[in-house]
Amino acid sequence: MSRLSANRWGKSEVRVSKVHRGERTDEFSDISVQVLLEGDVESAHTEGDNAAVLPTDTIRNTIYGLAQEHLTDDLEAFAFVLCQRFVARPDIDQARVSIFENIWRRQTDTGFVGGGSERRTAQVAHGRETETGAGIEGLVVLKTRGSAFAGFPRDEFTILPEAADRLLATSVTARWLYSSIPNDTTATWSLVRATIVDHFFADWSASVQHQGYMMGKRVLDAVPEISEINFHLPNQHHLPFDLTRFGLEDQGNVFHPVSEPYGDIGFTVTRD
């Protein structure tokens, strides 16, 4: 005996760019959209009946069709418009929209420089439940001092030396949930990013965990509309390179960056 359990369908990695034209100065959006839908489509799986399955091609075209009027710098608002559109169908009871925006920095009134790894994100779920969040991906930060790692447990396989002051680097992924949506989600995103960056560099930390918790606490202090923030902070290791093998004095300032393996740290900071 078998039955269909949790399921969803949709469209991912829908790339959309849009020029927001002004009199002399233009703005530019470069996003990828993921739409995931849930509804009563059991017969599509069990009987091959597609009467309730909105084509994923239609999902893609809906994103482009609504972008002309509704895509602004308020990504959460555009995600909610998409959710409302899909949930309005009688056979869809939940829509989840995630938007990933590539960051372009202004160079001239009509010119931009991009190509980095950093992305702004927005996530909206609407239907049976409604939830709005935002985030940052690929924010790479490094400081050459101001972090330590000592006092950890040791056993026969522990060879890592304790460090009172060390180089610390990570690629920040942060996602937060709103208890209420701010009036200006773009300004709020910029404030969260600035808070994370400022306190990564300003605060001494005893570990990656300590560093991240302090950043999360500062974000909650700065933005009362945020109920919780989740961090993924993989260590970007820069391993000391032993120059004494070449007959040189090792002054401890030459490193070998490695991408794998890496320390994988994740946690959520929430309000009491």
**Domain 9-129 = CATH 3.60.15.30:** no
Distance CA 211, CA 263 (A): 14
- For the chain, give every domain's residue range: 9-129, 138-270
Q: Walk along the chain (272 residues) and give the pLDDT tens digit of each residue.
A: 888 899 999 999 999 999 999 999 999 999 999 999 999 999 999 999 999 999 999 999 999 999 999 999 999 999 999 999 999 999 999 999 999 999 999 999 999 999 789 999 999 999 999 999 999 999 999 999 999 999 999 999 999 999 999 999 999 999 999 999 999 999 999 999 999 999 999 999 999 999 999 999 999 999 999 999 999 999 999 999 999 999 999 999 999 999 899 999 999 999 98
Does the pTM exceed 0.95?
no
| 3-state helix, strand and coil shares in percent for the chain, rounded to the nearest 5 | 25, 40, 35
**270 classed as catalytic:** no
Distances (CA, A) of 98 to 78, 90, 169: 10, 22, 27
**18 classed as catalytic:** no
Phi, psi for 101 (deg, rounded to 5): -110, 125
Distance CA 164, CA 92 (A): 56
From the candidates 11, 132, 173, 199, which is the catalytic residue?
11
Closest listed residue to residue 103, CA positions, set 75, 143, 78, 132: 75
Beta strands in 128-252 (DSSP E): 131-149, 163-178, 226-232, 238-240
Distance CA 43, CA 7 (A): 12
Distance CA 267, CA 17 (A): 33
From the candidates 143, 232, 237, 238, which is the catalytic residue?
237
Residues 83, 95 contacting (CB under 8 angstroms): yes
Distances (CA, A) of 13 to 10, 31, 57, 80, 194: 10, 9, 12, 18, 27
Q: Do domains 9-129 and 138-270 have the same CATH topology?
A: yes
**Domain 138-270 = CATH 3.10.270.10:** yes
From the candidates 56, 72, 110, 186, which is the catalytic residue?
56
